[in-house]
Every structure is written in C-alpha cells, then in structure tokens.
Amino acid sequence: ADGKRVRELVLDNCRSNEGKIEGLTAEFVNLEFLSLINVGLLSVSNLPKLGKLKKLELSDNRISGSLDVLAEKLPNLTHLNLSGNKLKDISTLEPLKKLDHLKSLDLFNCEVTNLNDYRESVFRLLPQLVYLDGYDLDDREASDSDGEADGVDDDDDEGRYEVEGEEDDEEGSGEDEVCALLVK
C-alpha cells in the first residue's frame, strides 16, 4: 500500500517496540482514523505528525500522561479514546485543551473516572468537548456518527489498511509479536 492513499489504519494488538510502532510514520499524510488498541504504549510521544487525523483509538494501553504532544502532532483530532489507560488526575488531561476540534473523549476504565465531579471537571477543563464517555453535558447519548470513533464514514474499504496482531497465541513462543508495518 502507498502511505499517501491510506485513510484508515488499524494496528490493534500489535506490540509496540519501546513505544514505537514500526513503520508508522508521517508518510501517512491523509490518515483520518488510527486504531492502536492494546499495543502496549506507555506514552504518545512517538506518534508521528498526522495533520489530517480525526479519530484516534488508544484503548487498553498503559498511557499515564504526557498528552501534550497530541495537539502538536494531531491538530485536527475530533475523537480520542483513552479508555483502559493509567490516567488518574484531571490535570493529566490539561494538554487536551489545545485540541481545538476535540468533540468526543472516552476515558472508560481509567482511574480518573472515579473522582468526584469527574464529568463536570472534564467539561469545565475542555470547553470544546461535546461528548465524554459517549454522553454530552446533559446526559444525552452521542449519535452514532458523532460519538463513535468508528472509522471514517465511508462504506467502501478503499483506503483501509489493517495489520492484525495475535491476541492470544497459544502455541507461540511466549514472546510478544511485533507487527512491522512496512508500506512499500
């Protein structure tokens, strides 16, 4: 695949190598949807600059902070899913203020959701936000097109590129598999 033509990239369950996903580079200039669920990321600092990216799935990683690079590298992000990460404090989310277009943020199964006034605090911190964990400030549920970080709204598979990581490889050598994404 030619990196310029890829609009959606799904790398779920691929093991990152010291925070880097091999082959994930800034050459994906037209990427709008990136899914990195359960890849072992500790931080977002090694993400490439992707100016057109709108939806980023980072569920089930080990990210605990340092979200400031998101605004710098992904200025047009509208949907961010950080569910199942190690985010504990509202202050950790402060850098997301710089994501002017951020409409939807998911933090399910992060410790921060246990704080008193969690929802009010996040909406106060991020005035641009419309949906938090799928609901708006008035507890109205997001419509499918709005709240779901479910790929680019397109029926054809043109521009979609998936590399499937093995979730549980029983016969494997016990080592985590590193998926190398090599775009020729």
Is residue 175 very low, low, confident or very high in pLDDT (cuts 50, 70, 90)? very low
Question: pLDDT grade, residue 49 (50/70/90)?
Answer: very high
How much is the pLDDT for 167? 52
- Return the higher-pLDDT residue of 146 and 74: 74
In the predicted model, what is the mean pLDDT of residues 82-86? Answer: 98
CA-to-CA distance for 27 and 100, rounded, in angstroms?
Answer: 24
pLDDT of residue 177: 47
Please check the confidence at residue 178 and state whether its pLDDT lies above 80.
Answer: no
Distance CA 41, CA 21 (A): 9
Window from 92-96, 164-168, 171-175 with minimum mean pLDDT:
171-175
Quick one: 172 exposed, middle or buried, by C-beta within 10 A (0-12, 13-18, 19+)? exposed
**Beta-ladder partners of 79:** 55, 104
Range of the domain at 37: 1-184
Q: What is the 3-state secondary structure (H, E, C) of 130-158?
A: CEECCECCCCCECCHHHHCCCCCCCCCCC
95 Cβ neighbours under 8 A, 6+ residues apart: 67, 68, 70, 71
For residue range 102-130, list pLDDT tens digits in order: 999 999 999 999 999 999 999 999 999 99
What CATH number should be reported for the domain holding residue 147? Answer: 3.80.10.10
pLDDT at 43 over 90: yes
Give the model's confidence band at 157: pLDDT under 50 very low, under 70 low, under 90 confident, else very high: low
Query: For residue 20, what pLDDT is reported?
Result: 80
pLDDT of residue 65: 95
Question: 56 or 160, which is more confident?
Answer: 56
Query: For residue 81, is pLDDT > 80?
Result: yes
Tell me how many domains the chain contains: 1
pLDDT band at 18 (very low <50, low <70, confident <90, very high): confident
